[in-house]
Amino acid sequence: PPPFTGVWMGDSKLCAIGVHCGNHITSHGLALNCCTDLTWFDHIVPCGLEGKGVTSLSHELGQHVAVSHVLEPFLDSFQEVFDCTLVSSEDPG
């Protein structure tokens, strides 16, 4: 829900995305919860957002969703949306 970043299912964050700039360095990241053990989030305030929760694809769909099952379609969609080509560090050249 605005103004919060990420992908939300109601009041629970499914995917976090962020950018950090400091000391002339820009860092960015993305975390999509596929089959995450959500009990770890009981011990923290995720993303510093009081009253908001965290969820996963497995929890929302009621079945196990492995990262390996989501990775290829996710990367394909990322390339399409951002009109880019992703290169793996394992790719030669």
List, by residue number, the catalytic residues.
47
Reduced to 3 states (helix: H, G, I; strand: E, B; else coil), residue 59 is: helix
Give the strand pairing for 12-22 and 25-32: antiparallel
Give 47: exposed, middle or buried? Use CB within 10 Å, 0-12, 13-18, 19+. middle
